[in-house]
Amino acid sequence: MQRRIRFISTVSAAAAVALMATACASGSSSSTGSGDGDGIKIGFSQVTQQSPFYVELGQGAKDAAAKAGDEMYFVDANGDVTKQNDDIQDLITRGVKVLIINPVDPKGVAPGLAAAKAAGVKVISVDRPLDGAVTYVGRDNVEMGKLVGEQLLKSLGSGGGKVLEIQGDAGGTVARDRSAGFNEALNGAPGVTVVKGPYAEYIRSKAVTAMQDLLQSNPDVKAVYCHNDDMCMGVLQVLKENNRDDVKVAGVDGLMEAVKAVADGGQYVATAVNDPQYEGQIAVDTAVKVAAGESVPEFIDAGTKLVDADTAKDLTGDALFAQYVPSE
């Protein structure tokens, strides 16, 4: 009997618009169907759909579940931890066997985790680590920050200069680790000063506003590092509007816009691969193993690599993010 996938989406109107726009750009879309009950029931609680990375992460999970013949219930917390806890409770009542959670706040989602434990539902965290989960599927964000930092330092040359850091989310482990790796790479470099900018929540429009203010107060800036490429594309927009093509830019995630900008040899000097669709696929593959009672490592690394002028051309394509599957 053929098994089909079921997606239950509870996105807000604004999030739905973002999802549709990004899905059109990437050639993927969310669908609704009815499963016939033969597959494993998997719940996916997503942190938000306001970032193209998270849209693609969810799509990768949906595609993997469809390929495996499993049912997936997909819900969007829209950045609200209270809603995420309610969503998790709803997924539990739907009878999911495994929960994949990308937490809004690893500590704030504790009520949802407690409810899952009481119901005997195993939890997998994706993209952001979560205490109490069976495993964490993600990447080494410290390493990604370090790779990008080292490349940005090379681009600055012996003169060094002021580097602005536009951060992701306050208290987030991804933002913390990407900052730590980056600052480790630049620590002690002669003439280099890192100035921490505001938290722009990984959203391009917020980074535009932040960079407009930062550029006025830091006209001597030599480079900008962002915790993701989407924010850095906003930074690049502001720099171009102000004729500041002398300022180097580097981000993380391998957003295709950024990869192509690196390949062009302009002021965007580096990013690091963070293929969201592959990460979503690995999360679902892991969920199937956990449901079957198999043991899995505490951390499953989806892999990364530096994108610089030497590697960017090989990674360009039509996908929304650079696609990368680590070698076995």
Q: What angle do CA 57, 55, 115 make, to 5 degrees?
A: 70
User: What is d(CA 29, CA 20) in angstroms, rounded to the nearest whole number?
Assistant: 7
pLDDT (0 to 100) of residue 145: 98
Tens-place pLDDT, residues 192-244: 999 999 999 999 999 999 999 999 999 999 999 999 999 999 999 999 999 99
Same fold? 13-138+276-297, 141-272? yes
Task: Round to the nearest angstrom and report the end-to-end CA distance of the chain.
Answer: 33
User: SS3 for the chain, per residue?
Assistant: CCCCCCCCCCCCHHHHHHHHHHHHHHCCCCCCCCCCCCCCEEEEEECCCCCHHHHHHHHHHHHHHHHHCCEEEEEECCCCHHHHHHHHHHHHHCCCCEEEECCCCCCCCHHHHHHHHHCCCEEEEECCCCCCCCEEEECCHHHHHHHHHHHHHHHHHHHCEEEEEEECCCCCHHHHHHHHHHHHHHCCCCCEEEEEEEECCCCHHHHHHHHHHHHHHCCCEEEEEECCHHHHHHHHHHHHHCCCCCCEEECCECEHHHHHHHHCCCCEEEEEECCHHHHHHHHHHHHHHHHCCCCCCCEEECCCCEECCCCHHHHCCCCCECCCCCCC
Nearest Cα to Cα of residue 268 among 301, 297, 296, 234: 234
What's the CATH fold of domain 141-272?
Rossmann fold (3.40.50)
Closest CA to 255 of 273, 269, 238, 268: 273
pLDDT score of 302: 95
Quick: pLDDT tens for 61-86: 999 999 999 999 999 999 999 999 99
Closest-CA residue to 259 (of 325, 165, 323, 178): 323
Residue 204 neighbours by CB distance under 10 Å? 22
φ, ψ of residue 278 in degrees (nearest 5): -65, -40
- Cα dihedral: 129, 22, 166, 181 (round 10): 40
Residue-level length of the chain = 328
Residue 25 has a pLDDT of: 32
- Angstrom distance (rounded) from CA 107 to CA 164: 29
CATH of domain 13-138+276-297: 3.40.50.2300
CA pair distance 90, 80, nearest whole angstrom:
15
Contact 249, 269 (CB under 8 A): yes
- How far is Cα 80 from Cα 161, in angstroms, rounded to an integer? 38
Domain ranges of the chain: 13-138+276-297, 141-272
Any idea which residue has 């994108």 for tokens?
Answer: 307
Q: Are 122 and 88 spatial neighbours (Cβ–Cβ below 8 Å)? A: no
Are 43 and 112 contacting, i.e. CB atoms less than 8 angstroms apart?
Answer: no
Q: Which residues of the chain have pLDDT under 50?
A: 1-36
